[in-house]
Structure 1
Amino acid sequence: MMLLMIGRSKSSSTRRRRILAFRSSALVMAGLLAAILGTVAAGLSASSAMVVFDFIVRARPRISDATRVNLGRAIMVGILILCAILAPGIKSFQGVFGYLVRIWSLLAPPVFVCVVYGIFSKRATSRGAVATLSVGCTLGAVAFWYLGRPDLLESMPVYLRSPLNLGFLITVACGTVMWFGRAKDPVPSAQEVARRETRHDGEVMSPGERLIYRTGLTLLIVVLIGVTFVFSPWGLALFQ
């Protein structure tokens, strides 16, 4: 009888430990999912707002608020679908952290240089920013391809085998490009620029300027699609 009671006690204790472990794991997973959902929601909102206000509204300033909201929602859905399609390619890296380190260390330097130079210098120009982004994205794509070639890594110095070190070199290169692309004189303030660009008829851009803007926007979209394909699993398989 005593042995039976001891056996039941051990079995009950084992069940309690399993239940507690399951509940703890569930709480951890719930917190992790909440953090992921918050990050995804913030990223989608920021991306859609950037596309709508920096590109679409600038080209068509008279669209209604309802149209802007619908466009933002459609862009969010499109970005989410694109990310879901590209997500399986992460398995070719050493975990999610390794993927994020490689991607952001190679693609963030040009954006970082443009933001910092635009905040702390009055001589930053759009031409210098475009050149910096172009050079930085190109170097990042080359470095991304280079890091995916073990045969090339073995023949290079140890310093150049880390994406963080390559990211630092790309940052230096982008800073150099931005420095040479700066204006000789301080750039006018935003109020002065807006006053110069505003026409008497209320138009922000002339027809010629709008044509140039749309052409540049189309080329930018083509470049973004190309970069997305290069970093996708199909692009990686093509270049390997």
Structure 2
Amino acid sequence: MTHLEWPDYVTIAVYFLITAAIGFSVSRRKTTSEDLFLAGRSLGPAAVGFSLFASNISSDTLVGLPGAAYQTGISAANYEWMAGLVLIFAVFLVLPALMRSKAQTMPELMGARFDRRMRLYLSAITLFLSIVLDTAGTLYAGSLITTTFLPHLNMTEVCYAIALFAAVYTAAGGLRAVVYTDFMQAIVLLFGSGCLAYIVFGKFDFSWAKVTAEIPGDKLSLIRPIDDPGVPWLGLVTGLPIVGFYYWTMNQYVIQRVFGARDLRTAGRASLIAATLKLLPLFLMVLPGAMAIKLLPDLEHADQVFPRMVAEFTPTGLTGLIVAGIIAALMSTCSSTLNSSATLITLDFVQPHKPQWSSEKLAWFGRITTIVVALIAATWAPMIQHFSGLWAYLQQIFAFVASPLVAVFLYGLLSTRLGSRAAFRGLVSGHVFSALLFIPFLKDWVPIHFTIVGGVIFAATVLLTAMWAWILGDADRPAPGDAHIAVFARQGLERITMDVKIGAFTIIAVIAVILYLFR
């Protein structure tokens, strides 16, 4: 039974007031485009690290992860710890090139390595994914939770209300407001999720032996057979790293925080903070979802797990805190995706055609764009309810669309010989191959898990790109100035400080222990 009483409403209201106050206080500062989109490149490691985590753990994660665990087991947590490995990989290979390039968007870095076609191609696809997946998925999950507690509200109306609120404070304060509110939201989110996990574990008398006795063993294992419907082991070592690499290094709404870091050392430390925080969802969100198999056995849809656990197991007052945490997660990702979408449209599409515009005028255009993008995402969000599940909706699309992008980007980082024409033709060929697989996959004609398909698409794109490079030959060799991005990436290990290296290897060791315990 859903229950929100006056202490819950007070908690939620206080959260909204604090969020709005942060956004509008920041809006009274600088108004240049660099401050709006990159916070003046002045952010510290804690702010960037917690913001990376908060922007990722959104309402779609809070709904999708427990739902996936309820349906297929804790292998859904492989997306979370794998993110830690991807972030560490990015510290040594991607961040040196990214920070030395002084780019403002990831497509701009792609353009610096190749050409303007590649910049616009990546920017357009990133915009599509940001609006249709990240923003719309977040709004849908948030409206699903809201209508669980307030069933008299309409899902479409809730989507528009949430989108407009997030758009207004994001447009006002820019990336600095997003990051500052993210820090607060990450704390609220972790505390609220921790409270719910404690309550759910208490239903088993805080006994892990009782959990393992009452929950099927295959639901409590991270390493699964190749035919597992959750995350098969082959998909774990092929598709997941690819999707994770796109999400954490090429997805503008995530990597934009790193662009705002003071320097390479700050960016490295921030990535390690985020990698550490990404180990927590296994315990705070995924395991409670698996435990709900015993506690809530008759749910019609797996996406109902998290809101039902909150509604049925938490007392008055704490319910409001957890709902505030849900709103915190929702607002964090929504504001992040809106700000990054406005950044891409303004800097990749508008500024090159309006070089005479001042920085202040670009900032105002970015604010208007933020609100327009929010309305588009809110219009699409209710349509997601017609798909089989939120988590599958998000991850499958990412696997098919992102794999060719990652293949060509990594090729360009690791090789100084890949030219722009071969890269562009290889990327287009990879997406054509992906599209040819997507239709039979939706029809269930391809009996392969989408994480494995992502690995196949990645490998095919690498081969197609190499084929085009061979066909074009020396006529497509990049100029020395274009290949310098790959040189920066190769020199990355030399520029990483010892404290960051020690932290990275420590996190890898912790991940190895987790895999051993939940093998």
Q: Shift of residue 143 of structure 1?
A: 3.4
Verify the 8 A CA contact 1:107 1:136 in the aligned structure 2: no
Q: Shift of residue 23 of structure 1?
A: 2.4
1:191 and 1:61, CA in 2 relative to 1: closer, same or farther beyond 3 A? farther
Q: What is the Cα-based RMSD across aligned positions, in Å?
A: 2.7
Q: 1:53 aligns with which of 347, 356, 359?
A: 347
Taking the TM superposition and a 5 Å limit, the aligned residue runs for 1:118-137 are: 118-137=412-431
Verify the 8 A CA contact 1:122 1:187 in the aligned structure 2: no
Q: Shift of residue 20 of structure 1?
A: 5.6
Q: Shift of residue 28 of structure 1?
A: 1.9
Q: 1:39 aligns with which of 310, 333, 347?
A: 333
Q: Shift of residue 39 of structure 1?
A: 1.4
Q: Shift of residue 100 of structure 1?
A: 0.7
Runs (5+) with no aligned partner, structure 2: 1-311, 485-519
Q: 2:453 aligns with which of 157, 166, 171?
A: 166
SS of the equivalent of 1:123 reads coil
Q: Distance in 1 between matches of 2:417 and 2:483?
A: 16
Verify the 8 A CA contact 1:47 1:76 in the aligned structure 2: yes
Corresponding letter in the other structure for 2:455: F
Percent identity over paired residues: 24
1:125 and 1:186, CA in 2 relative to 1: closer, same or farther beyond 3 A? closer
The yes-or-no answer on 1:176 pairing with 2:468 is no
1:70 and 1:126, CA in 2 relative to 1: closer, same or farther beyond 3 A? farther
Q: Shift of residue 163 of structure 1?
A: 1.7
Q: Shift of residue 109 of structure 1?
A: 0.8
Verify the 8 A CA contact 1:111 1:133 in the aligned structure 2: yes
Corresponding letter in the other structure for 2:386: S
Corresponding letter in the other structure for 1:23: G
Q: Distance in 1 between matches of 2:333 and 2:398?
A: 16
Q: Shift of residue 64 of structure 1?
A: 1.5
SS of the equivalent of 1:40 reads helix
Q: Which residue of 2 aligns with 1:90?
A: 384
Verify the 8 A CA contact 1:52 1:72 in the aligned structure 2: yes
Corresponding letter in the other structure for 1:76: T
Verify the 8 A CA contact 2:417 2:483 in the aligned structure 1: no
Q: Distance in 2 between matches of 1:43 and 1:108?
A: 17
TM-score (norm 2): 0.30
TM-score (norm 1): 0.60
SS of the equivalent of 2:382 reads helix
Q: Distance in 1 between matches of 2:396 and 2:313?
A: 39
Q: Shift of residue 172 of structure 1?
A: 1.3
1:147 and 1:53, CA in 2 relative to 1: closer, same or farther beyond 3 A? same
Q: Distance in 1 between matches of 2:426 and 2:369?
A: 26
1:132 and 1:52, CA in 2 relative to 1: closer, same or farther beyond 3 A? farther
Q: Shift of residue 19 of structure 1?
A: 10
1:136 and 1:26, CA in 2 relative to 1: closer, same or farther beyond 3 A? farther
Q: Distance in 2 between matches of 1:80 and 1:190?
A: 35
Q: Which residue of 1 aligns with 2:319?
A: 25
1:123 and 1:52, CA in 2 relative to 1: closer, same or farther beyond 3 A? farther
Verify the 8 A CA contact 2:342 2:366 in the aligned structure 1: yes
Total equivalences in the alignment: 168
Q: Shift of residue 107 of structure 1?
A: 0.8
1:130 and 1:97, CA in 2 relative to 1: closer, same or farther beyond 3 A? same
Runs (5+) with no aligned partner, structure 1: 1-17, 193-240
Q: Distance in 2 between matches of 1:180 and 1:33?
A: 48
- In our comparison, the structure showing a higher alpha carbon Rg is 1
Q: Distance in 1 between matches of 2:313 and 2:451?
A: 43
Q: Which residue of 1 aligns with 2:170?
A: none
The yes-or-no answer on 1:189 pairing with 2:476 is no
Q: Shift of residue 187 of structure 1?
A: 3.4
Q: Distance in 1 between matches of 2:408 and 2:371?
A: 28
Q: Distance in 2 between matches of 1:124 and 1:106?
A: 23
Verify the 8 A CA contact 2:430 2:464 in the aligned structure 1: no
Q: Which residue of 1 aligns with 2:401?
A: 107
1:168 and 1:130, CA in 2 relative to 1: closer, same or farther beyond 3 A? same
Corresponding letter in the other structure for 1:189: G
Between the two structures, name the one with larger relative contact order (CA 8 Å, sep ≥ 6). 2
1:107 and 1:19, CA in 2 relative to 1: closer, same or farther beyond 3 A? closer
Cα deviations across residues 154-210 of structure 1 (Å, max 9, x unaligned)? Answer: xx4x33xx2212211111121122223346445321599xxxxxxxxxxxxxxxxxx
Verify the 8 A CA contact 1:124 1:187 in the aligned structure 2: no
Q: Distance in 1 between matches of 2:414 and 2:352?
A: 25
Q: Shift of residue 61 of structure 1?
A: 2.1
